[in-house]
Each structure stands twice: as C-alpha cells, then as structure tokens.
C-alpha cells in the first residue's frame, strides 16, 4: 500500500515541468490579487468589530 502511494508520487513528479515566464507571471498576479482581496476583507472585518461597536454604545 505504501509503495503504491510512493510510486504515485514519483509519477506525479515526473509529469511536472518548469513553467515558462508568462505562466509564472500570470500565477504571480493571481496570487497577489487574492492576497490583497483577503487582506481587504480582513481589514473590513477588523473595522466592523473595532470601530462600529464604539458608535453603537
């Protein structure tokens, strides 16, 4: 069972390839955009939890 999993992992590694420059830049742009969106959502939640209760009380 373990040797089959090991063989599967080896086969996956054999199929991988180095991305070309365009593919790398596209992946980088998407990653940065997602990080910014998640950070913005976190900041909005922080503002709602920190600032908004001060106005309600």
Residue ranges of alpha helices (H) inside the chain are 2-15, 21-50, 52-56
pLDDT at residue 51 in the model: 82
CB 28 within 8 A of CB 20: no
The contacts of residue 27 (CB under 8 Å, 6+ apart) are: 19
State the pLDDT at residue 56.
65
Show Cβ contacts of residue 19 under 8 Å, excluding neighbours closer than 6 positions. Answer: 27
Say how far apart CA 8 and CA 12 lie, in whole Å: 6
User: What pLDDT digit, counting tens, does each position of 2-57 carry?
Assistant: 889 999 999 999 999 999 999 999 999 999 999 999 999 999 999 989 887 776 65
């Amino acid at each position: 069972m373990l040797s089959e999993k090991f063989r599967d992992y080896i086969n996956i590694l054999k199929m991988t390839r180095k991305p070309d420059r365009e593919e790398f830049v596209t992946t980088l742009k998407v990653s940065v955009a997602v990080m910014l969106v998640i950070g913005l959502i976190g900041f909005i939640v922080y503002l709602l939890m920190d600032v908004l209760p001060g106005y309600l009380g």
